[in-house]
Homo-oligomer: A and B are copies of this chain.
Amino acid sequence: MAVKVAVNGYGTIGKRVADAISLQKDMEVVGVTKTKPDFDAKMAIKKGYRLYAAIPDRVKVFESAGLEVEGTIEDLLKEVDIVVDCSPNKIGAENKKLYEKLGVKAIFQGGEKKDVAEVSFNAIANYEEAVGKQFVRVVSCNTTGLTRLIYTIKKNFPIKKVRATMIRRVVDPKEDKKGLVNGIQPNPIKLPSHHGPDVQSILPDVNIITAAFKVPTTIMHVHSVAIEMEKDISEEDIKSAFAEEPRIMLFNSEDGFTSTAKIIEFARDLRLRYDLYENAVWEDSIGVVDGEVYVTQAINQESIVIPENIDAIRAMLELMDKEESIKETNRTLKIGVLD
C-alpha cells in the first residue's frame, strides 16, 4: 500500500515534488497546499491534486476566487504519513511546530537552517542516516550539487581539500519583482561562504572552502571546483567515476554545450519544465594539475533536489534500502537516461 504524502507549498519545488511522487508506486500525494489562489493553484487542481489552504484563514480567499479547497493544512496533515515542506525559506521552521503537534514526519528544504532537522540529507552520500528519522532536511540546490560531485570522487579516491567558487543564478525564471540586471554581487561578501559548512553537514570529514556570487541569469548555477587529492589521479579516473553515477550527466563542448543556455536548450527537448535532476558536468572541463582536480559543473536550481526528496521519503518511512530507492527514483524520473 502506498504511503500518504502531503506537499506543503505547491511552488517551484513543491510542484515538482508532487509530480515526482505521482510517478512512484509506493507513495501517493494526498494533497498540496497554497497560500493564494493563483495560476499555480489552478494548475494543481487541473492536474488532479487536492488543494488545501496553507494558511487556515485564507480558505475564504480561495472560495471567493472560485477555487474549492478541501480544508486547511491541519486537515491535510491528519491524513498523511509524511509532509514534504516546500514553503519559502524560514517558513518551514515555523511550520515545524504544527508537524510536531500532530506527530507527522517532515522533510524540510535547504532554505531552512541545519538544526531544523535531525539529519541533513543527500541520497548518494548519506541515505542511511535518514532511515526512520522524524525530521530530515534536503540540502539546497548548490549544496546538493557540490555534495554529489565531491562524494562521487571521495568514494573512489581520498581527497585533501576542496575549493569551490559558485556563480549563482540571481533569481528563478518566473521572478519579475527583483533581480540583478547588470552587475556581479559577491554573496556573501565576507569569505568564505556558508556552502562549505553546509556540505560538511552531510560530509563532516571534508575540508572545504567556498565563495559565492550572484550574476544576472535565471537558468542554472555554475560551480568552479578545485579538489586537492591525497594521491595521484588522472583525468580518466575522474571521468570514469562521474560516468558511473547516474545523477551526474556529462556534457561536452564538442557537442555544442558552450554555456548553461545550451544545456537548458537540451533539457527543454528532454523533459517537462526543462527539469534537469542531474549535475551537469562539463566533461572537457576536467583537468588535473599538480595533483589537483579542476572541474566545472552547472546545477538547475529548480529540479536538482527533487530525486533527493523522493529518496528521503523512502528512507524516513523505511520503504526501501539505499540502493533500491535510488535505483527506483532514477528509473521513474528517467535520471541519466536520454531516450
Contacts and interface: CB of A to CB of B under 8 A. Distances in A.
A174 to B, nearest CB: 13
A76 interface: no
A166 to B, nearest CB: 9
> How many copies of this chain sit in the oligomeric assembly?
2
Among A185, A191, A218, residue most surrounded by chain B Cβ atoms (within 10 Å):
A191
Contacts of A184: 167, 169, 215, 217, 220-222, 259-260, 298
Contacts of A207: 290
A274 interface: no
Contact of A183 (B191, B209, B260, B285): B260
Contacts of A224: 165, 211, 213
Indicate the member of A215, A217, A260 with the most B CB atoms within 10 Å: A215
A216 B216 CA distance: 6
B222 A213 contact: yes
A325 to B, nearest CB: 32
Given A189-B253, A211-B296, A213-B224, A183 B261 contact: yes
Interface in A165-188: 165, 167, 169, 180, 182-186
Q: How large is the interface on A (under 10, 10 to 19, 20 to 34, 35 or more residues)?
A: 35 or more
A310 B289 CA distance: 37
A226 interface: yes
Nearest to A185: B259
Interface in A226-264: 226, 253, 258-262, 264
B220 A289 contact: no
A209 B296 contact: no
A71 interface: no
Given A186-B222, A217-B216, A224-B211, A191 B287 contact: yes
B167 A285 contact: no
Nearest to A282: B189
- The interface centre, meaning the residue of A183, A214, A217, A285 with most chain B CB atoms within 10 A of its CB, is A183
A160 to B, nearest CB: 11
A211 B226 CA distance: 10
A294 interface: yes
Contacts of A289: 192, 209
Nearest to A292: B209
Contacts of A213: 167, 222, 224, 296
A182 B182 CA distance: 11
A115 interface: no
A186 B217 contact: no
A192 B261 contact: no
A295 interface: yes
A260 to B, nearest CB: 4
Interface of A: 163, 165, 167, 169, 180, 182-186, 189-192, 207, 209, 211, 213-222, 224, 226, 253, 258-262, 264, 282, 284-287, 289-290, 292, 294-296, 298
6 contacts: A183-B259, A186-B258, A189-B253, A211-B226, A213-B296, A216-B216
Given A167-B167, A180-B261, 12 more contacts: A165-B211, A169-B184, A182-B216, A184-B260, A185-B261, A186-B259, A191-B295, A209-B226, A211-B224, A211-B294, A213-B296, A215-B215
